């Protein structure tokens, strides 16, 4: 999607009807370009009403992300933050040298090349999700960050439950699910030394409202917050997620994952379930999930006993349904 299409979407975000002339004036382009940009949005699955002879509008108003509002909501954290209308990927942005502070937040309205775990892409439409990344410099080396991804999932679950999504659960290592459908994903990328200081870029994508086209494009079963009846403002929700994450990352840095392991297991949708573990390179194993250890490794019981499996490229599937 070109920046013009995204700028058009931003102009329409208040939900009111705007004429082609008015939009062409504000965007400083021709009416034909406005029409092309509207078509581009439609092709990308973003619903725009084109009302003959009158103009364009979105089906409903969307609350745009607002750096000033976020700064006010998070003032006590003194966290440098930016909101970008469009970027390839918030994780990539922080990894590619735009990181000037030990802790830094960037959120995007639109990601043109959002990335997921295991080389997958992450799809989200303007206004229909939260996509953001938090860079966090740990004095611990990478070797000590084993439970980090589980901590991030826990922060999301705690917040969503506070907002009323009370059946939200975790799927090891860090997916957030509702009835085994994916609601949020976490991509953590590390830079630094195994033993010296390391920076984690923690990227989170949370589905707020997915439309039919997007559901068709995503190759797994998905959920969104609107299905769960949660009507949170985007800025308020983002601020709460960042606040919870901030608190839990501080705790993790100080005390590791061990004090959080029981709470994490309590929210694990696959606890004591029979699963397949895809180990990468076409290998897999089957067994019963028996919790997580103090480093965040999944404990799997097989005929040979209970063995820990670490995150990375390992992926979990329910045995009964292969979800
Ligand atoms: C997953 O595969 O489950 C992880 C998805 C992570 C998506 C988020 S969206 C914000 C951040 N930027 C990216 O490119 N990816 C992460």
pLDDT of residue 314: 80
Residue with CA at minimum distance from ligand 1 atom 11: 203
Which structure tokens are listed for 176? 């957030």
pLDDT of residue 267: 98
pLDDT of residue 67: 97
- Tens of pLDDT, residue by residue over 140-152, are 877 788 899 999 9
pLDDT of residue 215: 74
Low-confidence residues of the chain: pLDDT under 50:
322-323
Q: How far away, in angstroms, is 215 Cα from ligand 1 center?
A: 17
SS3 54: coil
pLDDT of residue 320: 66
pLDDT of residue 323: 44
Point out the catalytic residue in the list 18, 120, 243, 317. 317
Q: Where are the alpha helices (DSSP H) in the chain?
A: 3-12, 20-27, 31-43, 67-73, 90-95, 148-162, 212-217, 234-255, 261-266
Class of domain 3-57: mainly alpha
Q: Does residue 197 line the site of ligand 1, with CB under 6 A?
A: no
With tokens 């009323």, the residue in question is 164
What is the b/e burial string over 26-35, where b = at least 16 CB atoms within 10 angstroms of the residue's CB? Answer: ebebeeebbb
pLDDT of residue 176: 97
Please confirm, yes or no, whether 307 is among the known catalytic residues: no
Please confirm, yes or no, whether 50 is among the known catalytic residues: no
Please confirm, yes or no, whether 317 is among the known catalytic residues: yes
Q: How far away, in angstroms, is 167 Cα from ligand 1 center?
A: 22
Atom of ligand 1 nearest to the CA of 117: 2
pLDDT of residue 172: 95
- What are the boundaries of each domain within the chain? 3-57, 67-265, 270-318
CATH fold of 270-318? SH3 type barrels. (2.30.30)
> How far from 288 is each of 218, 255, 275, 319, CA to CA, in Å?
28, 28, 6, 10
- Tens of pLDDT, residue by residue over 78-136, are 999 999 988 999 999 999 876 678 899 999 998 989 999 888 899 888 888 999 999 99
In CATH terms, 67-265 corresponds, of 3.40.50.300, 3.30.930.10, 3.60.20.10, 3.40.718.10, to 3.30.930.10
pLDDT of residue 322: 43
pLDDT of residue 196: 76
Atom of ligand 1 nearest to the CA of 89: 14
Among 131, 188, 311, 312, name the best residue to mutate to test ligand 1's pocket (greatest count of ligand atoms within 8 A of Cβ): 131
Q: What is the rounded distance in angstroms from the CA atom of residue 44 to the CA atom of residue 290?
A: 42
pTM of the full predicted structure? 0.93
pLDDT of residue 99: 66
Residue with CA at minimum distance from ligand 1 atom 3: 185
């Amino acid at each position: 999607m070109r920046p013009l299409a995204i700028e058009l979407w931003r102009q329409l975000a208040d939900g009111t009807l705007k004429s082609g002339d008015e939009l062409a004036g504000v965007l400083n382009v021709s009416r034909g370009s406005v029409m092309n940009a509207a078509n581009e949005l439609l092709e990308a699955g973003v619903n725009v009403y084109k009302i003959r002879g009158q103009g364009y509008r979105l089906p409903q108003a969307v609350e745009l992300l607002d750096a000033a509002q976020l700064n006010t909501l998070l003032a006590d954290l003194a966290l440098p933050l930016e909101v970008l209308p469009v970027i390839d990927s918030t994780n990539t942005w922080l990894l590619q040298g735009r990181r000037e502070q030990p802790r830094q937040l960037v959120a995007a309205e639109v990601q043109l090349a959002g990335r997921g775990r295991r080389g997958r892409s992450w799809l989200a439409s303007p206004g229909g999700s939260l996509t953001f990344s938090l860079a966090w410099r740990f004095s611990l080396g990478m070797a000590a960050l084993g439970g980090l991804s589980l901590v991030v999932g826990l922060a999301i679950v705690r917040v969503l439950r506070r907002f009323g999504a009370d059946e939200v659960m975790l799927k090891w290592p860090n997916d957030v699910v509702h009835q085994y459908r994916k609601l949020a994903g976490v991509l953590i990328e590390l830079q630094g030394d195994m033993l010296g200081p390391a920076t984690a870029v923690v990227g989170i994508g949370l589905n707020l409202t997915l439309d039919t086209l997007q559901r068709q494009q995503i190759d797994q079963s998905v959920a969104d917050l609107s299905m769960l009846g949660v009507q949170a403002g985007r800025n308020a929700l983002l601020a709460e997620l960042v606040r919870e994450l901030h608190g839990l990352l501080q705790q993790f840095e100080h005390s590791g994952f061990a004090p959080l392991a029981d709470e994490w297991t309590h929210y694990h949708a696959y606890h004591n379930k029979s699963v397949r573990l895809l180990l990468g390179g076409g290998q897999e194993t089957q067994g019963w999930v028996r919790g997580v250890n103090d480093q965040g490794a999944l404990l799997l019981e097989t005929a040979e006993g209970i063995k820990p499996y670490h995150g990375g490229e390992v992926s979990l599937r329910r045995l009964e349904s292969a979800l």
